[in-house]
Chains A and B, each alone.
Chain A
Amino acid sequence: MYPAPSIIAFSTLSGLGFGLMFWLGIGMPGSTGLVAFVFFAIAYVLAGAGLIASTFHLGHPERALLAFTQWRSSWLSREAVGAVAALAVMGLYAIGRVFFAASWIPIGWLGAALSLMTVLTTSMIYAQMKTVPRWRSPLTPALYLALSLGGGALLAGQVTWALLLIGMAGLLQLAWWWHGDRAFSDAGTTMASATGLGHIGRVSAFEPPHTGPNYLLREMVYVVGRKHAFKLRIIAFVLGYALPLAFLLVTFSHWMGLLAVLSHITGILASRWLFFAEAEHVVGLYYGKR
């Protein structure tokens, strides 16, 4: 799949932002006034920037309001509804914390739940895709949720939770890669089933429909950069998981925390790039590719 920078930025940043909102919503930290304002501002910038980035890849962003209508059937629509609901509810909660030094607990918990649900809907957009076997696994939402909670705990200064959840996310990441590398062959979709010609013999692509590439090949049969996948996995794992854990374990200071956050974000961006670039869509089989 084509790794669109806008989607990579969106899913990484908004995941972090909603993760931070979760911790703020359950009162960890329960700061008020200016400190609370800074926390909420960071959460809103990350989640909001992600949402705005996600509209960049739309052909007709002016019709984006229609995307709130199909929540009964579409995970993408559920994501839109969830994101706006989470931002609205948490906004109310933030007003109490920042201006009235009050913790309206039910609203905070509701906002926290909506934040997590938004991350879940994001992950389900990918996990529902039967056409991309690498994504279609319960490990995909598990990884997205662990990353959001872990990264959020890191931003919220919840060191113990951050250690636990980022460590867990690292293990899920390894499991996800392990599963993903087998998923395509396990899914059983082959050139034989794609063409229905397998009963005759071995099928190979003789001639593509046209002389040049098309939308399908550009969007869904992205194979550039896969040769560096292994190196990028190591970079993603070291920067996204190992180094932040090391920074947190050494001694906790704000500078160490900042280093851990920056390293984590860079690593997760690399991991998210691989999430798309390595994902093989079954339509590639019609072109003799994976």
Chain B
Amino acid sequence: MTSLPDSTERKLGLVIDLDTCVGCHACVVSCKGWNTENYGAPLSDQTPYGADPSGTFLNRVHSYEVQPAQGAAQLVHFPKSCLHCDNAPCVTVCPTGASYKRQEDGIVLVNEDACIGCGLCAWACPYGAREMDAASKVMKKCTLCVDRIYNENLPEIDRVPACVRTCPSNARHFGDLADPDSDVSRLVVARGGMDLMPEQGTAPVNKYLPPRIKDRLDRIDDADVLEPFLDVVTDQPKGFLGWLDKALDKI
């Protein structure tokens, strides 16, 4: 059934910290590396060494420039993968039942054996989280590494999504967002975690932590504790400089 579950017991998902992401794309590489040889069809590339390379990725890192009304511009690296929405529009449009959201943990998955490759779910997703693989002709998406997180053949430390495990700046966190006491939930509360495109009504499980605002560049002088004592006594220069100032004014 491609109807959504009324509620899910857990909401497994990611919390992505835009403040610490350095835009290294390691998550992109580890995601592709793990998922091309595990769950479902491989993530194919077309002419990867040719003139017009293209391929399937479940996770892509964008970079944005943000220009405040006043002050310095800010560069924000922005990893984007499936947000495992509570109200996932990609699931209900599926005509075959291939797309589904799991009741036990909320992960949105594609049963590739039932996918007819119509592409309608990719149209329904506002985030661009689904990509049709050009070789296998089925829809690919983030599985939250469902084949890692429950995999008892892996050491416990590795039972997290590949992107989380590999991130060198700890910008990606994995956990249960339905549990208010989980690390990820507390992180969301502490840092003001936000939804992407809330107006689309998708109720995404994944949250993004906003970057800190770079508003201190103009306040270098404030840092000096002696400043009040070093304040300029008079605006009018004296002596030779005063004479020069007046002379130049008269010209």
Q: Let me know if A208 is at the binding interface, CB within 8 A.
A: yes
Q: Are A201 and B200 in contact (CB under 8 A)?
A: no
Interface string of A66-90 (1 = CB under 8 A from B): 1101101111110010000000000
Stretch of A122-130, A149-157, A243-251 lying at the B interface: A122-130
Interface size on A, residues (CB 8 A): 59
Q: Are B196 and A204 in contact (CB under 8 A)?
A: no
Which of B67, B118, B211 is close to A76, meaning CB atoms less than 8 Å apart?
B118
Q: Which of B114-153 contact A (CB under 8 A)?
A: 114-120, 122-128, 131-132, 134, 136-138
Residue of A nearest to B23 (CB): A207
Q: Are A60 and B115 in contact (CB under 8 A)?
A: yes
Q: Are A76 and B64 in contact (CB under 8 A)?
A: no
Which of A57, A58, A70, A201 is close to B67, meaning CB atoms less than 8 Å apart?
A201
Which of A63, A74, A200 is close to B93, meaning CB atoms less than 8 Å apart?
A74
Asked if A220 meets B123 with Cβ closer than 8 Å, knowing A58-B117, A59-B132, A74-B94, the reply is: yes
Q: Are A194 and B93 in contact (CB under 8 A)?
A: no
Residue of A nearest to B194 (CB): A196
Q: Are A130 and B195 in contact (CB under 8 A)?
A: no
Which of chain B's residues have a CB closer than 8 A to the CB of A59?
A: 115-119, 132, 136-138
Stretch of B74-82, B164-172, B178-186 lying at the A interface: B74-82
Which of chain B's residues have a CB closer than 8 A to the CB of A8?
A: none
Shortest CB–CB separation between residue B26 and chain A, in angstroms? Answer: 13
Q: Are B132 and A132 in contact (CB under 8 A)?
A: no
Which of A60, A72, A208, A210 is close to B116, meaning CB atoms less than 8 Å apart?
A60
Which of chain A's residues have a CB closer than 8 A to the CB of B137?
A: 59-60
What separation, in Å, do the CA atoms of A191 and B123 have in the docked complex?
18
Asked if A193 meets B198 with Cβ closer than 8 Å, knowing A60-B117, A212-B53, the reply is: yes
DSSP class of B's interface residues: helix, strand, loop or mixed? loop
Asked if A73 meets B92 with Cβ closer than 8 Å, knowing A130-B201, A194-B197, A212-B53, the reply is: yes
Which of chain B's residues have a CB closer than 8 A to the CB of A204?
A: 64-67
Q: Let me know if A189 is at the binding interface, CB within 8 A.
A: yes
Q: Are A75 and B93 in contact (CB under 8 A)?
A: yes
What separation, in Å, do the CA atoms of A57 and B210 have in the docked complex?
40
Q: Let me know if B69 is at the binding interface, CB within 8 A.
A: yes
Asked if A132 meets B123 with Cβ closer than 8 Å, knowing A188-B199, A215-B131, the reply is: yes
A residues neighboring B (CB under 8 Å): 1, 57-61, 63-64, 66-67, 69-70, 72-77, 80, 125, 128-132, 187-189, 191, 193-197, 199-216, 219-220, 281-283, 286-287
* 21 pairs, CB–CB < 8 Å, chain A vs chain B: A1-B123, A59-B118, A59-B137, A60-B116, A60-B138, A73-B92, A130-B89, A131-B126, A191-B64, A193-B197, A193-B199, A194-B196, A195-B196, A196-B194, A196-B208, A202-B66, A207-B63, A215-B131, A215-B134, A219-B122, A286-B62
- 16 new A-B contacts, CB < 8 A, other than A60-B115, A63-B115, A216-B131, are A59-B118, A72-B3, A73-B1, A75-B93, A195-B76, A195-B78, A197-B66, A197-B211, A200-B66, A200-B211, A201-B67, A205-B65, A207-B62, A213-B54, A214-B57, A283-B128
